[in-house]
Chain A
Amino acid sequence: MSIRHIGPVNRRLNPSSVSPSMLLPGQPSGTWGAVSRFAVVRAEASQRVYGLHRSIPNRRLYTTCAPSSLRPTSALLFSSELRQQRLTIPSVMSRSNSTVASGVAPFPASEVAKCTALVALHARLELPAEYELTTLARALNSATSKLAGTFPDNSTLSELGNRLLDFYVSEFIVCSYPRLPMEIIKEARWAYCGDDALTSVGRSWGVEHERPRVVKTGKKVEIKKDQDLIDYFGVLKYGSLVFGRVGGLTEYVDRENEDGTKRAVQRYSTAMSDFVRSIIGGLYLHSGREAAKLFIFNHILSRKLDISKLFRFEQPTRELSRLCAREKLAQPISRMIAETGRSSMGAVYIVGVYSGSNLLGSGEGRSISEAETRAAIHALKAWYLYSPNSAPPSSTEETPEAEFQPLFIDPGQVIV
């Protein structure tokens, strides 16, 4: 076992901190003394969501694609009936997407309603009846897509959804763990609603995306003019990066519009995460903030994230020392609780870090310094992961007259 990943121990601050022969009897490791300001790490705390989950009867995780009966099959797409209804994409579609379209037309509601993928997605996400299919089609239309100039794109919808998502996720983290350091808050926010997380959410909803095509250089990207527009409404459309052979090497190549201008490109993860944000923005517009909040709690915050795994301490013993000084607690001192096999190859030491007579944390290790470091890390994690069970500020949105219990506000993380 190596302790390199824990970080160096600064032993200079506590020269008398560990003395191997000093044995403390009777105290089981992991219990806490009278220092009530420290809290025991709750393993389940990260799963608790203000009790909001409990009110939802059928919470599920969507991990599979649509049932095959709902997915548009090729037989359905190319049936003669549908072929007759095929629409020709207007020639406007290939123009540059850089400007806000003035000649944008709303999605044709009757045509969109025929898109099986959209209907299936609407049902799968259990969206309310007032959530229109045209909004869903808009959410799938990125600003870089071929249809962006023709129909409204999702750039503003995703901006609105992003604000909602960012607020509720940040509030959940900050109010659940009021002592978390800023770096951990930002990491946790990224883990919940960063591009990668949202992409996996969108993929788990069974949303298909426009496949990038491999092209040869010097050749324009071929776009089927008579591609079924109805079918096209149901896939995520974006200007993807494409590969091509350039002088014997495989490289990204520029895609061009029909008029010769460069097409804007976007990463798959950006396009997919913007789609998920747009769904939330659309939900806010159609059904209100409470519905959007519930959706965020069901689909984003229901994903398990172990915040205690995000920590990485550079100098844990020193940080604990600073913390105790700031909180006016006695200087932390490491003491050996138990040891075995000191002169063997498999020695194990259990060290507890004490403030006065209160055990702040204990750790085990193959060497004394490793155990000491682990003890300090456990003590710091127990401090930072303190989690009071209080209602967040947004709980007063619906009932402004209700009395609000002021939250615990932490002074801030320790600066070493």
Chain B
Amino acid sequence: MNVFRPILRPLRPMPFSLARASVCVPPTTTTFKRTIVYLDGLVEEDRATINQPSPEVLKLQEESEKYVDEAWNRLTGEHAATFSLPKDLLLQVFTHKSFRHGVLPYNERLAFYGRRLFSLQVACLVAAHKSDGPTSIAGRDVEALKSKTAQGLLHSRGSIFKIAKESGLLPIIRWAPAQKFDNLMEVNPRTTGLLEVGAQTVYASIGAVAMCHGGAKAEQFIKKVIMAGPFGVTNATE
């Protein structure tokens, strides 16, 4: 033990690499446990870096990439080329936090951001309504924000979930439902969490477009795909 004392704890501070080199003596020449602890760490590091996913996992990933790509094209329609997303980000958009206990990238934060962007867009679109009434400000009437359509778009996920349902995104979403479903289209979305998960995917798509292409393009995405697209909410201001 005393032999190694000066090596482990030098009087003068020395650079880290030098210190490690002096400590890492070959394990065959020593029986002290403390040197083995160091080597354990290095072995773990090596093991972690060479770890490759198995062929089955790779095949599964390829398949889901294909499905997700098709779903995205269905949703965006003619604007698919404008709002294209990288493969891994697209997979993240379609992955819920519950899928495989959150080990894979999931869409929670994208949805959080996308929902706020969407709400702002709806509010701005409604506030752009020209009017000269007693409640108007600067020639625009914000009282339209009280309308049923505007309130529905701002406060409920129903209309957004409808987009996910009609464009066929629901079977593609990777999540872990609490119950087994026979047919995803027949279950009650409100009691099974499908509403939340489906709407979150659409909100996440808005967030992903914004973070990848910028806010201006995300506004275009909301107007062209979410509002006026083939599956979109037709008009925010009735």
Q: Which A residues lie at the B interface, using CB under 8 A? A: 16, 19, 21-27, 100, 104-106, 130, 132, 135, 138, 152, 155-157, 159-160, 163-164, 166-167, 170-171, 174, 178, 182, 185, 281-282, 284-286, 289, 326, 328-331, 333, 354-357, 392-397, 399-400, 404, 406-407, 409-415
Is B123 a contact of A159 with CB atoms below 8 Å? yes
Residues of B within 8 A of A130 (CB): 138
CB distance from A299 to the nearest CB of B (A): 18
Binds A, one of B67-75, B113-121, B226-234: B113-121
Secondary structure call for the B interface: helix
Is B211 a contact of A331 with CB atoms below 8 Å? no
Is A26 a contact of B116 with CB atoms below 8 Å? no
Is B142 a contact of A25 with CB atoms below 8 Å? no
Residues of A within 8 A of B142 (CB): 156-157, 159-160, 281, 285
CA distance A410 to B120 in the complex (A): 24
Residues of A within 8 A of B15 (CB): 26
Is B16 a contact of A415 with CB atoms below 8 Å? no
CA distance A355 to B210 in the complex (A): 35
CB distance from B223 to the nearest CB of A (A): 13
Is A160 a contact of B127 with CB atoms below 8 Å? yes
Is B45 a contact of A182 with CB atoms below 8 Å? no
Is B117 a contact of A412 with CB atoms below 8 Å? no
Is A156 a contact of B145 with CB atoms below 8 Å? yes
Is A19 a contact of B216 with CB atoms below 8 Å? no
Among A19, A356, A393, A415, the residue within 8 A (CB) of B42 is: A356
Task: Tell me whether A357 and B45 are in contact in the complex, defined as CB-CB below 8 angstroms, given that A19-B34, A105-B134, A163-B119 are known contacts.
Answer: yes
CA distance A413 to B104 in the complex (A): 10
Report if B66 contacts A (CB, 8 A): no
CB distance from B201 to the nearest CB of A (A): 15
CA distance A182 to B123 in the complex (A): 25
Residues of B within 8 A of A156 (CB): 142-143, 145-146
CA distance A411 to B107 in the complex (A): 8
Q: Mark B198-229, 1 if CB is under 8 A from A, else 0.
A: 00000000001011111111110000000000
Interface footprint category on B: 35 or more
Is B145 a contact of A159 with CB atoms below 8 Å? yes
CA distance A159 to B120 in the complex (A): 10
Is A286 a contact of B138 with CB atoms below 8 Å? yes
Is B37 a contact of A174 with CB atoms below 8 Å? no
Is A289 a contact of B34 with CB atoms below 8 Å? no
- Offer 24 A-B interface pairs, CB within 8 angstroms, sorted by A: A22-B37, A25-B9, A25-B13, A25-B19, A104-B135, A156-B143, A160-B145, A163-B123, A166-B120, A167-B116, A167-B117, A285-B137, A333-B40, A393-B215, A397-B215, A400-B216, A404-B217, A406-B212, A410-B105, A411-B106, A412-B97, A412-B102, A412-B108, A415-B102
Is A326 a contact of B9 with CB atoms below 8 Å? no
CA distance A356 to B45 in the complex (A): 5
Residues of B within 8 A of A281 (CB): 142
Task: Tell me whether A415 and B92 are in contact in the complex, defined as CB-CB below 8 angstroms, given that A357-B20, A410-B109 are known contacts.
Answer: no
CB distance from B27 to the nearest CB of A (A): 16
Is A164 a contact of B120 with CB atoms below 8 Å? yes
CB distance from B121 to the nearest CB of A (A): 9
Is A166 a contact of B34 with CB atoms below 8 Å? no
Among B10, B104, B212, the residue within 8 A (CB) of A411 is: B104
**Shortest Cβ distance from B218 into A: residue:** A393
**Shortest Cβ distance from B219 into A: residue:** A397
Among B18, B106, B137, the residue within 8 A (CB) of A286 is: B137
Residues of A within 8 A of B89 (CB): 409
Q: Which B residues lie at the A interface, using CB under 8 A? A: 8-10, 13-16, 18-20, 34, 37, 40-42, 44-45, 47-49, 51, 89, 92, 97, 101-106, 108-110, 112-113, 116-117, 119-120, 122-124, 127, 134-135, 137-138, 140, 142-143, 145-146, 154, 208, 210-219
Residues of B within 8 A of A171 (CB): 113, 116
Residues of B within 8 A of A138 (CB): 137
Residues of A within 8 A of B14 (CB): 25-26
Residues of A within 8 A of B19 (CB): 24-27
**Shortest Cβ distance from A401 into B: residue:** B216
Is B41 a contact of A106 with CB atoms below 8 Å? no
Is B120 a contact of A100 with CB atoms below 8 Å? no
CB distance from B85 to the nearest CB of A (A): 10
Residues of A within 8 A of B140 (CB): 285
CB distance from A368 to the nearest CB of B (A): 15
Residues of A within 8 A of B106 (CB): 411-412
Is B103 a contact of A326 with CB atoms below 8 Å? yes
Residues of A within 8 A of B51 (CB): 328
Residues of A within 8 A of B42 (CB): 356-357
CB distance from B99 to the nearest CB of A (A): 11
Task: Tell me whether A174 and B101 are in contact in the complex, defined as CB-CB below 8 angstroms, given that A25-B10, A163-B120, A333-B41 are known contacts.
Answer: no
Residues of B within 8 A of A357 (CB): 20, 41-42, 45
Task: Tell me whether A170 and B214 are in contact in the complex, defined as CB-CB below 8 angstroms, given that A163-B120, A331-B44, A411-B104 are known contacts.
Answer: no
Contacts A19-B34, A395-B215 known; 14 new A-B pairs at CB < 8 A: A16-B37, A156-B142, A159-B123, A159-B154, A160-B123, A160-B127, A164-B120, A182-B109, A329-B48, A330-B44, A333-B41, A406-B212, A407-B211, A412-B109
